[in-house]
Amino acid sequence: MPAAIPLRPTEHITFDRDRLFRVCDEKGIDAEIFLMDILSEIETLVEIARGQVDDREGLVRTCSRLIRRAEVIGMVTLEEVARSVIRCLGEGNEYGMRACHARLVRLGRPGAVAEWSFAGAMQPDGAA
């Protein structure tokens, strides 16, 4: 019998670059600190959500907070996944909720930063 190979799906987190650029324009010189604070909050909230798969009320509260923070900086994918967790909970869809919860945790794992991208971002042409 062949050995089992653990699957580790990867996925890109997409940013709405217009929203993110607007935040940078509004915050000016303080944009970097502001973004790092929001990303740190998001990381903490995802870690909290990781342990709430069986705490429905807690998971709804955490996902709601994630949505609000992700909206601010245009983290479209994370926003959509957190909404999906809440929707599945509301519909009583246990399998869907667990799948969306796993996706949420996967998107928020350490190292995911390398997989983030801008929605509609132009590819560099190589010119310096």
CA 66 and chain centroid, separation: 8
Residue 117 lies in a domain: no
Q: What is the pLDDT of residue 104?
A: 94
Q: Is position 34 within any domain? A: yes
Is residue 4 one of the residues assigned to a domain?
no
User: Which structural domain, as residue segments, surrounds residue 78?
Assistant: 15-112
pLDDT in tens, 24-34: 999 999 999 99
**In contact, 80 and 63? CB cutoff 8 Å:** no
Asked if residue 2 belongs to a domain, the reply is no
Cα–Cα distance between 71 and 16 in angstroms, integer? 9
Is 39 among the domain residues? yes
Q: How many domains does the chain have?
A: 1
Give tens-digit pLDDT for 33-76: 999 899 889 989 999 999 999 999 999 999 999 999 999 999 99
What is the model's pLDDT at position 49? 96
Domain-located, residue 58: yes
Answer yes or no: is 123 within a domain. no
Whether residue 122 is contained in a domain is answered as no
